[in-house]
Chain A
């Protein structure tokens, strides 16, 4: 490995090696590549890394949580003397296995499930710690924040904050910060993971906190606010980085009333089609869908179940857009998930076409910063690696190995155009970072 490492340095060139940057592989503890690949991707999401390191700096002697373990890991990478090498994320993995029993084994895990869990869990930890701290100040902050958000709902451009604020202008600025927040989050989160396969709407975290879509069209939504949950506490930095808002507009085919409601998301899960682009997949994600037969929509205006048309579009574009390509499809005839190796191209630069009319910053320009890649033939076998962009270089992290790659090799990870080969190396989670925050 030593030889390998020095080779990377040579390849990059000592002069060109980005200062204060470290490229460290992560040792595999037995099928922990799902974690390694995601951690590398996250480490090279600049805003995320900075926040985690900031957390580390602020909490010198924290109670051990998954977040503190992650912070330690990031910190130890960032403070290495050597520029390249590998490191064993032992503490983190141990903690992870304690936190969630699904991961407490040596089986192959789904990288997206892990990402989803990690982000939500970190968010909960932050909220919990905040609540444990000076509650009052938090509350004040919340209220003030909510109001300002209501006033200038359009201001969220770069800061990307105001989840609650922008939605809650009419209804509520009351923020009861209590521990149920985090509970609600975790609940919804778990439902999300369950529901993944069933619906194509993307992982919706905190669906319970759905609020009324402020003034969209002739919106007649019920401003029912589960005040107990009131997830409109001040957003955490996890929210600021990853959270976007989807607005789902439903038009009752009986009374033509359009209702809309907002849903938060940490990532978008998109179906993949053969020979398409991620752009197309995202547009399909926002296709109009007709709710009929046993899937009818309860129209508040008609006070009955009616056929309706529904579409989901992005109302708030997150700072980091995580796109999960749904490559593991449940096939009834096989009674298991099989891998869909379709060729789906993803550009290095992205804008969204499926933004809602009232989106704040619909032209947000994203750059591809990291890709988690699944190699192999199925969900339960195979391997995860990740490629990341750092200081203009593309690097491939394969557990403890790090290689420099040319940008042109990214096309090897688009997928396959034929079904002949069962095994493939395909982009699985894409991380796009907004350029205005770079």
Chain B
């Protein structure tokens, strides 16, 4: 680390760098910037230069691109599921139809494609008023326009790239790594007076071969929808024109995945708005009524009788909550929001439930990105760190230190994320495994297809319904992979490739491997006495988990499980030695995650899941399992009911694990993490980390130590639980844990699962991913969720008290939402290169290249190894001389 710091910052800029995949090269002919470059112009206080990119459907096929079709279906679904806005959903679905139409007839698109919108201008130059004293001057270039106003030579298909610089906005045809840029021929350029574009987003779902709808947000709060395509331009719509909805800067705009008409806009005010592009903005300021209250956030909806924009307004309760970015998960079901208050908030979008939070070590979070499989979220911020958060575990699992300044963009590279093949084996009796395997293959395949089908970050990639279904197997494959990897350490462990760019003008690439992610909390131990207290008090949120654990334990005791526990322990330990145990143990870390978060695993999977978790959640799980084993019957019965309740719990207590399984996991983690402070044994185990470590957990002593720890926490937890409640709920949790534990054990023992257990699993899975509405599971999940809604209310009251304080960073330090610095695995970058003179502001990975943007308005294309087709050229033109012919 020191060496990095020592490295001379004034190095020359790198034009290539080497990783284990090979050499990445800067393609100087594929630079994008303003067509007429002047010398240095200060763009210091202008909005961040951002890049949007979209792949248009290929007209050759005469019909919709894959994306579009899929999206239509999903779009329908998804709107329905977000039933709160039922009003909106109907128009949406209906409108979906229009899009395909457009798509099929590219020629007509420019004229009427947009379905019912206003001003068309046949001139290539447009002056328009944006309201509020703001005007737009827009020029189309690069295509000759004949007397009919039709572009004679419109650029059809391909990719479009859009970026903002100062008051300007440019759209070019993106020609990838293969061809150079035609700098003199932007498809569109716009200059704004009185405001600056601050963000933008293409709608890949409504893309036509000639263009895609583009949303542009402004520093003054307005949002414009334009359709940048060659030919007569249609100037489309303005939202928040009179700034009645929000006066502050638009910080991020995203089309909803799979939706051609709905989009979300965040503002510096900290509010998030859902718009329907087809609805007008009324001329009066909206008046709101609460729609949903959650922990630290409120969702409002307009009071008016007729549906109007904004459909929803999300309000967060913390100060200085300027939302810096938000991002949908690849499956489209989750929404991650990062803000200046230093929080990452993860929502189940359709139900608007807060699933979890993370807090920066200090300062605001600036950027966010989902891993391609949706299991992890990476955020970057003003603490110069990249922070990895696990959806399954709801905790920060790692931090990366390597940047010298604020991290402005993080992006996973889905093409370099490595997947180890599952090698058959371990769970041979499980059909599911096989399914998973194939599914995972599919997933991989789908990943590829996504690559082809329009990039734009995963969020855009409207993973279709289908996609969701696949996504799960994806995770499943990870799990199995991980297990196999753990079994045979010489195999390539699964690893995610992450890129980050920063204001330090450097790009960092990171390999995040499962063995890091798998580490329990509290890697390194603190000597401080204060810590103990801190850990426990600070919990605030987490109190619940220990409770659950405690209860489980109680149960165990009451049930005279102790013997069984031991037995279980014995099994577990023994298992460690055996093949099964190995696989399970190895799985455990990864698998755990999978289980809870990825709950998505279809019911069939439950068995495997159960198995994994048990092995995973080392001590507690084992113990619980033992206990549960004895009580298995009761548990099962409850299990189902329990699963139903989940959603409530989720919404109220974020820290609280969503489902029982999760709790197990968590509890196991927490215990190991927090307890480790107290008990040496646990720490050791945690340190040992990989497969071996887990088995260690199973040892009796460890369990015991954990238990003792739990006792303390018990009181708190128990009180909490009981207050609210319905004993059933508490018991139900226990049961769940027990259940999962049981399952795992059963699996070990090759017992077949009873129907009940599987059903309980259903509940879990459904709760988590019900929103996603996976194909097979969807039905079940939805039904279970429905139930849960009914019962949920009870839970809320209980938890509210605990959760209120949860947004205090002083209390969060030392919790899984914000581990202390030495409690969290620290990653170092694979490479760290200075590639610009100005701060970097965008990073996009594509199949054959990646793009970086710089605050000085230059977008650079870097060819991946093997893709630098004009590598020879890249030396010839000097960097300063714009390649594409600058002069206009």
User: Which residues from B are CB-within-8-Å of A349?
Assistant: 342, 362-364, 382, 809
Q: Is B504 in contact with chain A by the CB < 8 A criterion?
A: yes
Q: How far is the CB of B370 from chain A (nearest CB, A)?
A: 25
State whether A363 touches B813 (Cβ < 8 A).
yes
Given A273-B9, A277-B405, A435-B810, answer yes or no on A347-B44 (Cβ-Cβ < 8 Å): no
State whether A280 touches B384 (Cβ < 8 A).
yes
Q: Is A71 in contact with chain B by the CB < 8 A criterion?
A: no
From B320, B405, B820, B821, give the contact of A275 (CB < 8 A): B405
CA distance A357 to B821 in the complex (A): 12
State whether A416 touches B44 (Cβ < 8 A).
yes
Do most interface residues of chain A lie in helix, strand or loop, or is the interface mixed?
A: loop
State whether B530 touches A287 (Cβ < 8 A).
no
User: Which residues from B are CB-within-8-Å of A223?
Assistant: none
User: Which residues from A are CB-within-8-Å of B530?
Assistant: 154, 157, 360-361
Interface hub of B40, B362, B503, B534 (most chain A Cβ within 10 A): B362
From B382, B813, B837, B838, give the contact of A365 (CB < 8 A): B813
Q: How far is the CB of B269 from chain A (nearest CB, A)?
A: 12
State whether A363 touches B405 (Cβ < 8 A).
no
Which residue from chain A places its CB closest to the CB of B248 in the assembled complex? A408
Q: Is B444 in contact with chain A by the CB < 8 A criterion?
A: no
Q: How far is the CB of B489 from chain A (nearest CB, A)?
A: 31
State whether A363 touches B821 (Cβ < 8 A).
yes
State whether B5 touches A420 (Cβ < 8 A).
no
CA distance A360 to B342 in the complex (A): 24
Q: Is B887 in contact with chain A by the CB < 8 A criterion?
A: no
CA distance A277 to B505 in the complex (A): 12
Q: Is B383 in contact with chain A by the CB < 8 A criterion?
A: yes
State whether B9 touches A276 (Cβ < 8 A).
yes
Which residue from chain B places its CB closest to the CB of A281 in the assembled complex? B404
User: Which residues from B are CB-within-8-Å of A350?
Assistant: 362-363
Given A275-B503, A362-B821, A365-B810, answer yes or no on A357-B527 (Cβ-Cβ < 8 Å): yes
Q: Is B2 in contact with chain A by the CB < 8 A criterion?
A: yes
User: Which residues from A are CB-within-8-Å of B362?
Assistant: 347, 349-351, 365-366
CA distance A287 to B320 in the complex (A): 33
Q: Map CB proximity to B onto A318-356 as digits: 1 under 8 Å, 0 otherwise.
A: 000000000000000000000000010101111101000
State whether B5 touches A287 (Cβ < 8 A).
yes
Interface size class of A (residues with CB under 8 A): 35 or more
User: Which residues from B are CB-within-8-Å of A360?
Assistant: 528, 530
Q: Is B529 in contact with chain A by the CB < 8 A criterion?
A: yes
CA distance A231 to B2 in the complex (A): 34
Q: Is A411 in contact with chain B by the CB < 8 A criterion?
A: yes
Q: Is B349 in contact with chain A by the CB < 8 A criterion?
A: no
CA distance A284 to B45 in the complex (A): 27
State whether B364 touches A347 (Cβ < 8 A).
yes
User: Which residues from A are CB-within-8-Å of B44?
Assistant: 343, 412, 416-417
Q: Map CB proximity to A onto B353-379 as digits: 1 under 8 Å, 0 otherwise.
A: 000000001111000000000000000
Q: Map CB proximity to A onto B379-407 as digits: 1 under 8 Å, 0 otherwise.
A: 00011100000000000000001011110
Which residues of chain B from 201 to 256 have a CB within 8 Å of any chain A CB? Answer: none
CA distance A276 to B268 in the complex (A): 24
Q: Is B647 in contact with chain A by the CB < 8 A criterion?
A: no
User: Which residues from A are CB-within-8-Å of B384?
Assistant: 277, 279-280
Q: Is A13 in contact with chain B by the CB < 8 A criterion?
A: no
Q: Map CB proximity to A onto B741-772 as digits: 1 under 8 Å, 0 otherwise.
A: 00000000000000000000000000000000
Q: Is A255 in contact with chain B by the CB < 8 A criterion?
A: no
State whether B505 touches A275 (Cβ < 8 A).
yes
Q: Is B319 in contact with chain A by the CB < 8 A criterion?
A: yes
Q: Is A105 in contact with chain B by the CB < 8 A criterion?
A: no
User: Which residues from B are CB-within-8-Å of A358?
Assistant: 527
Which residue from chain B places its CB closest to the CB of A284 in the assembled complex? B5
Q: Is A283 in contact with chain B by the CB < 8 A criterion?
A: yes
Q: How far is the CB of B41 from chain A (nearest CB, A)?
A: 10
Which residues of chain A from 411 to 438 have a CB within 8 Å of any chain B CB? Answer: 411-412, 416-418, 420-421, 435-436
User: Which residues from A are CB-within-8-Å of B821?
Assistant: 351, 353, 362-363
Q: How far is the CB of B496 from chain A (nearest CB, A)?
A: 25
Q: Is A288 in contact with chain B by the CB < 8 A criterion?
A: yes
Given A287-B2, A351-B383, A353-B821, answer yes or no on A276-B504 (Cβ-Cβ < 8 Å): yes
Q: Is B814 in contact with chain A by the CB < 8 A criterion?
A: yes
Q: How far is the CB of B302 from chain A (nearest CB, A)?
A: 28
Which residue from chain A places its CB closest to the CB of B808 in the assembled complex? A435
User: Which residues from B are CB-within-8-Å of A277?
Assistant: 382, 384, 404-406, 503-504
State whether A287 touches B6 (Cβ < 8 A).
yes
CA distance A350 to B360 in the complex (A): 10
A sample of 18 more A-B contacts (CB under 8 A), given A274-B10, A287-B2, A417-B838, is: A273-B9, A275-B839, A276-B504, A283-B5, A288-B2, A347-B383, A349-B382, A351-B821, A353-B821, A357-B527, A358-B527, A361-B530, A362-B820, A363-B534, A411-B45, A416-B44, A417-B44, A418-B40
What are 27 pairs between A and B in contact, CB < 8 Å? Answer: A273-B404, A274-B9, A274-B10, A275-B404, A275-B503, A276-B405, A276-B504, A279-B383, A287-B2, A343-B44, A345-B406, A347-B362, A348-B363, A349-B362, A349-B363, A351-B361, A351-B362, A360-B528, A361-B530, A363-B820, A365-B810, A365-B813, A366-B362, A417-B855, A418-B837, A421-B42, A435-B809
Residue positions of B touching A, CB distance < 8 A:
2, 5-6, 9-10, 40, 42, 44-45, 268, 319-320, 342, 361-364, 382-384, 401, 403-406, 503-505, 527-530, 534, 809-810, 813-814, 820-821, 837-839, 855
Which 9 residue pairs are nearest across A and B when measured between Cβ atoms?
A347-B363, A347-B382, A280-B404, A277-B405, A349-B362, A351-B362, A276-B404, A349-B363, A279-B384
Residue positions of A touching B, CB distance < 8 A:
154, 157, 273-277, 279-280, 283-284, 287-288, 343, 345, 347-351, 353, 357-358, 360-363, 365-366, 392, 407-408, 411-412, 416-418, 420-421, 435-436
